Amino acid sequence: MNCLDYRRTLAAGEPETADMKAHRLQCAACAALFREHAEFERELREGLAVEIPSGFEQRLKTAVVHNRRRFLAAAAATAAAAGIGAYAWLGRDGPLAMACIGFVMKEEAKSIMMGAMPHAEAETALATTLPLARIERIGRVKHIGPCPFNGATAYHVVLSVPQGKVTLLVMPETRVAGEQAGHDGMYAIVVALRNGSVGVIGTDKAVVNSVAGALRA
C-alpha cells in the first residue's frame, strides 16, 4: 500500500482495510487526510441531523400536491396546443436525469474529496447560471466545486435543507428541462435555467420536488 493507492481508495468511499490502516499509522500525510475525511463526514452527518418541525411533513406534502396539479395543468395545455398526448412523457426516465443519479451514486465521494472551490470563485463561476446567493437562500451549502459531467464541466453542490440533503449539478453548457428519473432509491429532476440547467438529486422524492420547485421560481 502506497500513498496514492491509499488516497484513491479513501476518495472512493471504500472502508479502511487492514493494509490501509497499517500504512496510515506509518504515514503522517495519509493520517492527516484520514482525519480530514472523518471530520468532513462528521460535519455532514451533523448538518443532516435537523429536527423537522411539527406538521412540516404534511405542509410539504400539501405544497407538493398543489404544485404538481399546477404543473400537470400547464403540461396538459401545452400538449393540447401541440397536438400530442399530455401525459406521454410521464413515468419515463430521462437520460440526463439518470446520469445525475449515476454521478451521485458513483462519483460524488470522489468529487468531494477533490476539495471545494473558494466562495468568491464559486460566486463568479455561477453568476450567469445559478447565482450562489440564490442557492444559499434554499439551504446551507456543504460543498461546491467543479467536476467533469456529461462531457462538460458542471458544478457539484451538496446542499443541506431543513428536510434533508440534496445534491445539485449545475450545468452551464447544457439546457434541458422536464426530465426526471428514479433508480435504486434515488430521484432526480432536471430544471432549465436562463443559461444552462441544474439537476436536483436526493433520496426523498418530496424533498427533490420541493428544491426543484424553489429553483424554478
Answer yes or no: is pLDDT of 41 > 60.
yes
Confidence band of 115 (pLDDT split at 50, 70, 90): confident
Give percent above pLDDT 90 in the chain.
41
Region of poorest pLDDT, from 72-76, 96-100, 181-185, 200-204: 72-76
User: Which of 54, 50, 14 is CA-nearest to residue 34?
Assistant: 14
* Region 5-22 average pLDDT: 78
Confidence band of 32 (pLDDT split at 50, 70, 90): confident
pTM: 0.60
Query: Which three cell numbers mark 128?
Result: 450567469
Region of poorest pLDDT, from 16-25, 37-46, 133-142, 189-198: 37-46
List the chain domain ranges. Answer: 3-48, 52-90, 92-216
pLDDT at site 35:
85
Domain 92-216 falls under CATH 3.90.550: no
Answer yes or no: is pLDDT of 125 > 50.
yes
CA dist., res. 156 & res. 50, Å (int): 22
Helix (H, G, I), strand (E, B) or coil at 170: strand
